[in-house]
């Protein structure tokens, strides 16, 4: 793999207009990645789903070079209908459109960070891969006291014009004091066997609100990794919702640092998997000061040969008194070949805290099915109604009504 | 309407029903009384098609072999079981459930399915009749309902679905006197020359409000005595032991 990496990197350097300083940075990231390779099960964070093996098994012709000088045509049929929204459109890893047409243009700034130092300190070789091969890095700044009027939908599209089997995306967001951003990640892929590596870095200043909804619903044979780093200042709120259902493999990782008092983080997720899909959510919430709160609810519905994992870490610093941390995961196993793994990790160094975790898994309750069937519903209807109810519980946590309805429609739930 | 001939039921090699026979004609109300463990709930489960029992004998419902029908097909044909312990179904809105259920049955009967407005009109009217708090219909099915509310919800479902044969499995247990009257009113309203009821109970109390045509005493998996309403009063006085 290292030869391929090296030669693809050389191609990238040749076709792009990076300065010698940028190339030096990138070379450093590349060397780190060559040294460490893809994460594997020997690392605790990767023990349930070993991405190094999964990539080896699924992508035989791994390559990293994309020619970003070519533009891709936007196929409007992939765009979300019936909901006014701002757009960022990624096609095959290249940003084809940034459009904040619904907003006050003075309140949003888009800053090209490509030429700056984009290094990010995190023990994860995928970030190195990302930084080495990324095309452009933009920072989106939402200015003080501004709430976006409409949600921003980021489209993650791939099509058959793609040149390599790996694409890397990165965006940085800065939410200035008392600003608000509703961000939807919308995945629609017409390719297969690509590894898509996404990194978002959020900085939430005082009193700001971030709502990030990730929708991977449409069945596709790609492998995805998404990493959100969220820094939170006083009284800021982050809400993350993950619908993990479409890809062959998807790991969503969230690292959230509650740096300011009264900041809070909410993470809710649904795994709806079948046919050999393997998905994971790994969260780390660092409660670093007093009076911070985190809440997590993850539910899985797992069909034949599918596997999901939830690793939820809550860290409470010795200074972080009055922390309120909660996590719960529940799974319905529809088939005896399906598998759910939960690994809660609570590391608490303060004494005046409220932290709890729970996990439960099992098959659908036969008595409940009997009850519904005795009211005239057939087995399939009864099963669907129970699953619907099981998942509705998570969807109800979505605080934005418009996006909640969008997600209910996309999943096909009944209210 | 319902003919049960020599029904035997085992669960995990334990005999529960043992030569049970009963005939119910259209318009009749039958009460089955019996001590704990006499097989009352097994009988209602088997009539509704619950899996897990080894059964022999014969059950005919309107001359059709009930064993050939799945649980939902029995509901479509007009059999309703009011559960002793109605289940809580998290995340499922009560109204959605009622509408899905009613329309599944109407569709199977070849009737037009109700739209949202027609359904709401009907459910509001039925809820009012049964003094069932309409707000609860917007909540998750039975979740956080009190024991009495769950039982009233069963009777609401019964009156919505208008079954031919209603089986009430200890619907009276856990009810206060006001709720008991509401349940009895629900039955009495639905009662006509075509609809029949099988009321399973420990106590004579419910039978003060619903007058049965026949009372049967169930012990050790079979009916040991049948009679009129006076039999319930005799039981209440003497207890089950005296019948053994």
3-state secondary structure B33-84: ECCCCCCHHHHHHHHHCCCCCEEEEEEEECCEEHHHCCHHHHHHHCEEEECC
In a domain, A292, yes or no: no
Nearest residue of B to residue A391, measured between CA atoms:
B91
Q: Residue A408 above 80 pLDDT? A: yes
User: CA A39, A41, A46, A48 torsion: positive or negative?
Assistant: positive
Shared domain for A252 and A107, answered yes or no, is: yes
Question: Partners of B3 in the beta sheet?
Answer: B23, B60
User: In Å, how far from its chain's centre is CA B241?
Assistant: 26
A380 touches chain B (CB under 8 A): no
Q: Which residues of B touch A368 (CB under 8 A)?
A: 87, 89
Per-residue pLDDT, averaged over A257-263, amounts to 97
Å between A227 CA and nearest CA of chain B: 30
Q: Given an 8 Å threshold on Cβ–Cβ distance, is A375 in contact with B92? A: no
**Which chain B residues touch A if contact means CB-CB below 8 Å?**
48-51, 70-72, 74-76, 80-81, 83, 86-87, 89-93, 96-97, 100-102, 104-105, 108, 140, 157, 161
Shared domain for A22 and A167, answered yes or no, is: yes
Strand, helix or coil for residue B195: coil
pLDDT of res. A118: 75
In a domain, A341, yes or no: no
Q: Residue A130 above 90 pLDDT? A: yes
Nearest residue of B to residue A381, measured between CA atoms:
B100
Tell me the count of A-B CB pairs closer than 8 A: 81
CA angle B141, B143, B145 (to 5 degrees): 100
Q: Given an 8 Å threshold on Cβ–Cβ distance, is B71 in contact with A370? A: yes
Give the pLDDT confidence of A326-341 residue by residue, as tens digits.
999 999 999 999 999 9
Give the pLDDT confidence of A374-399 residue by residue, as tens digits.
999 999 999 999 999 999 989 999 99
CA distance A381 to B184: 32
Q: Name the pairing type of β-strands A138-142 and B79-82.
A: unpaired
Helix (H) or strand (E) holding B218: strand B214-219
pLDDT of res. A415: 66
Select from A371, A380, A386, A414 the residue whose CB has the most chain B CBs within 10 Å, as the one to mutate to test that interface: A371
Give the pLDDT confidence of B35-67 residue by residue, as tens digits.
888 899 999 999 999 999 999 999 999 999 999
Structure tokens at B96: 């959605």
User: In Å, how far from its chain's centre is CA A267?
Assistant: 11
Q: Which residues of A touch B100 (CB under 8 A)?
A: 377, 381, 385
Q: Which residues of A touch B139 (CB under 8 A)?
A: none
pTM for this prediction: 0.88
Dihedral angle computed from the Cα positions of residues B132, B138, B144 and B148, in that order, rounded to the nearest 10 degrees = 10
Alpha-carbon Rg for chain A, nearest whole angstrom, is: 21
CA distance A285 to A312: 8
For chain A, the three-class secondary structure string (H helix, E strand, C coil) is CHHHHHHHHHHHHHHCCCCHHHHHHHHHHHHHHHHHCCCCCCCHHHCCCCHHHHHHHHCCCCCCCCCCCCCCCCCHHHCCCCCCCEEEEEECCEEEEEECCCCCHHHEEEEECCCCCCCCCCCCHHHHHHHHHCCCCEEEEECCCCECCCCEEEEEEECCCCCCCEEEEEEEEEECCCCEEEEEEEEEECCCCCEEEEEEEEEECCCCEEEEEEEECCCCCCEEEEEEEEEECCCCEEEEEEEECCCCEEEEEEEEEECCCCCEEEEEEEEEECCCCEEEEEEEEEECCCCCEEEEEEEEEECCCCEEEEEEEEEECCCCCCCEEEEEEEEEECCCCCEEEEEEEEEECCCCCEEEEEEEEECCCHHHHHHHHCCCCCHHHHHHHHHHHHHHHHHCCCCCHHHHHHHHHHHCCCC
The backbone region for B128, taken as left when phi is positive above 0, alpha when psi lies in -120 to 50, beta otherwise, is alpha
Share of chain B above pLDDT 90, in %: 73
Nearest residue of B to residue A370, measured between CA atoms:
B50
In a domain, A49, yes or no: yes
Q: What is the mean pLDDT of chain A?
A: 93
| Residue among A370, A375, A393 whose CB faces B90 most closely | A393
Give the pLDDT confidence of A89-126 residue by residue, as tens digits.
999 989 999 999 999 999 999 998 876 777 787 888 99
Classified by CATH at the fold level, domain B2-243 comes out as Rossmann fold (3.40.50)
Give the pLDDT confidence of B188-212 residue by residue, as tens digits.
988 999 999 999 998 888 888 999 9
pLDDT of res. A136: 84
Q: Total domain count for chain A? A: 2
Of A242, A260, A278, the residue at which a domain comes to its end is A260
Which range of residues forms the domain containing residue A218?
Answer: 2-69+84-260
pLDDT of res. B236: 83
Q: Which residue has the tokens 């979300």?
A: A80
CA distance B158 to A223: 50
CA distance B41 to B242: 22
A59 touches chain B (CB under 8 A): no
Q: Given an 8 Å threshold on Cβ–Cβ distance, is B89 in contact with A415? A: no
CA angle A322, A328, A333 (to 5 degrees): 175
Residues A405-412: contacts with CB within 8 Å, 24+ apart?
Answer: A406/A80, A406/A83, A406/A184, A407/A213, A407/A215, A407/A241, A407/A243, A410/A215, A410/A217, A410/A243, A411/A217, A411/A243, A411/A245, A411/A270, A411/A272
Å between A374 CA and nearest CA of chain B: 5
| Residue among B92, B105, B140 whose CB faces A376 most closely | B105
In a domain, A142, yes or no: yes
Residues B106-111: contacts with CB within 8 Å, 24+ apart?
Answer: B108/A376, B108/B73, B108/B76, B109/B76
A374 touches chain B (CB under 8 A): yes
Q: Residue A204 above 90 pLDDT? A: yes
Q: Domain ranges in chain B?
A: 2-243
CA distance B106 to A325: 48
pLDDT of res. B111: 93
Select from B69, B72, B162, B165 the residue whose CB has the most chain A CBs within 10 Å, as the one to mutate to test that interface: B72
Select from A375, A378, A381, A391 the residue whose CB has the most chain B CBs within 10 Å, as the one to mutate to test that interface: A375
Of A213, A238, A260, the residue at which a domain comes to its end is A260
In a domain, A131, yes or no: yes
Of A218, A244, A260, the residue at which a domain comes to its end is A260
Residue ranges of chain B whose pLDDT lies below 50: none
Which residue from A265, A285, A302 is spatially nearest to A391, judged by alpha carbons?
A: A302
pLDDT of res. B83: 95
ipTM of the complex: 0.95
CA distance A262 to B189: 58
Q: In this structure, are residues A410 and A215 in contact, taking their beta carbons and an 8 Å threshold?
A: yes
């Amino acid at each position: 793999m290292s030869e391929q990496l090296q030669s693809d990197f050389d191609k990238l350097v040749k076709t792009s207009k990076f300065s010698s300083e940028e190339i030096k940075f990138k070379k450093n990231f590349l060397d780190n990645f060559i040294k460490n390779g893809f994460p594997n099960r020997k690392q605790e964070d990767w023990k349930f789903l070993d991405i190094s093996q999964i990539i080896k098994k699924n992508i035989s012709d791994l390559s990293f070079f994309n020619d970003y000088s070519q533009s891709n045509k936007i196929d409007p049929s992939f765009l979300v209908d019936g909901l006014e929204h701002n757009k960022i459109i990624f096609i095959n890893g290249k940003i084809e459109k940034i459009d904040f047409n619904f907003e006050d243009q003075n309140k949003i700034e888009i800053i090209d960070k490509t030429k700056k130092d984009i290094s990010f300190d995190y023990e994860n070789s995928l970030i190195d891969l990302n930084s080495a091969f990324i095309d452009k890095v933009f920072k989106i700044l939402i200015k003080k006291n501004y709430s976006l009027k409409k949600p921003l939908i980021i489209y993650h599209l791939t099509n058959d014009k793609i040149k390599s089997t790996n694409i890397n995306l990165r965006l940085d967001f800065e939410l200035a004091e008392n600003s608000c951003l509703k961000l939807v990640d919308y995945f629609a892929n017409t390719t297969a066997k690509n590894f898509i590596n996404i990194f978002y870095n959020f900085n939430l200043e005082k009193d700001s609100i971030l709502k990030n909804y990730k929708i991977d619903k449409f069945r596709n044979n790609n492998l995805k990794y998404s990493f959100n780093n969220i820094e939170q200042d006083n009284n800021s709120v982050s809400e993350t919702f993950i619908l993990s259902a479409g890809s062959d493999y998807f790991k969503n990782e969230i690292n959230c640092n509650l740096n300011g008092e009264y900041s809070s983080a909410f993470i809710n997720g649904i795994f709806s998997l079948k046919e050999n899909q393997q998905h994971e959510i790994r969260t780390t919430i660092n409660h670093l000061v007093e009076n911070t709160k985190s809440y997590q609810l993850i539910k899985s519905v797992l069909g034949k040969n599918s596997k999901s994992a939830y690793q939820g870490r809550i860290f409470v610093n010795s200074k972080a008194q009055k922390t309120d941390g909660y996590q719960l995961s529940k799974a319905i196993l529809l088939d005896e070949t399906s598998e759910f793994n939960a690994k809660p990790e609570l590391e608490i160094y303060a004494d005046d805290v409220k932290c709890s975790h729970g996990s439960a898994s099992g098959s659908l309750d036969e008595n409940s099915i009997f009850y519904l069937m005795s009211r005239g519903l057939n087995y399939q209807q009864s099963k669907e109604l129970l699953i619907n109810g099981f998942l509705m519980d998570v969807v109800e946590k979505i605080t934005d009504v418009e996006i909640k309805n969008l997600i209910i429609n996309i999943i096909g739930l009944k209210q | 309407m319902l003919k049960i001939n020599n029904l035997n039921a085992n669960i995990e090699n334990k005999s529960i029903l043992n030569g049970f026979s009963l005939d119910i004609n259209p318009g009749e109300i039958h009460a089955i009384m019996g001590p704990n463990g006499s097989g009352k709930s097994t009988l209602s489960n088997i009539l509704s098609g619950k899996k897990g029992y080894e059964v022999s004998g014969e059950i005919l419902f309107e001359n059709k072999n009930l064993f050939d029908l799945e649980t939902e097909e029995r509901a479509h044909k007009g059999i309703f079981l009011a559960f002793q312990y109605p289940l809580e179904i998290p995340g499922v809105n009560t109204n959605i459930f009622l509408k899905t259920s009613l329309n599944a049955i109407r569709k199977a009967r070849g009737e037009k399915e109700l739209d949202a407005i027609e359904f709401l009109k009907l459910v509001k009217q039925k809820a009012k009749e049964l003094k069932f708090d309409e707000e609860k219909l917007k909540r998750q099915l039975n979740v956080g309902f009190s024991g009495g509310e769950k039982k009233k919800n069963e009777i609401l479902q019964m009156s919505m679905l208008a079954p031919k044969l209603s089986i009430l499995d200890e619907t009276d247990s856990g009810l206060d006197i006001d709720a008991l009257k509401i349940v009895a009113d629900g039955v009495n309203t639905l009662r006509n020359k075509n609809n029949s009821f099988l009321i399973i109970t420990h106590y004579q109390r419910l039978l003060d409000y619903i007058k049965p045509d026949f009372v049967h005493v169930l012990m050790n998996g079979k009916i040991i005595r049948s009679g009129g309403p006076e039999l319930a009063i005799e039981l209440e006085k003497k207890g089950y032991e005296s019948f053994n």
